[in-house]
Amino acid sequence: MSGFLAKGKTVTIRVSEKTFEEVKEICSELGETYNFNQFVNQSLGAILDVIRHEGQDIPIPRFAMMARLMKEYEARNFRDSKGEEK
């Protein structure tokens, strides 16, 4: 269902200008995959996952790993239907 918004609460957070700029920069590097709100939402969820984790090894948040892979994945890794590099 497109356009569906999960039920939730709206909160206002205050971050330093440096943090805000860093998050904006990362989101722009990831293209349309993340906007600022999605990034913050997923970050909060990941922090809760780490806090609630029971075990010795602390997990690396999945969304952070995916974002890192996307950031480091270069266009040369993609090929068009003719097998030519993009």
**Whole-structure pTM over 0.75, yes or no?**
no
Distances (CA, A) of 54 to 3, 43, 45, 47, 64: 35, 19, 16, 13, 20
Please report, for the chain, the start and end positions of each structural domain, with discontinuous segments joined by +: 17-77
Per residue in 8-42, pLDDT tens?
888 888 989 999 999 888 888 877 767 888 888 88
pLDDT tens-place string over residues 38-49: 888 888 888 898
1 pLDDT more than 50 = no
| pLDDT at residue 60, as a whole number | 83
Quick check: 76 and 67 in contact, CB under 8 A?
no
pLDDT at 79: 60
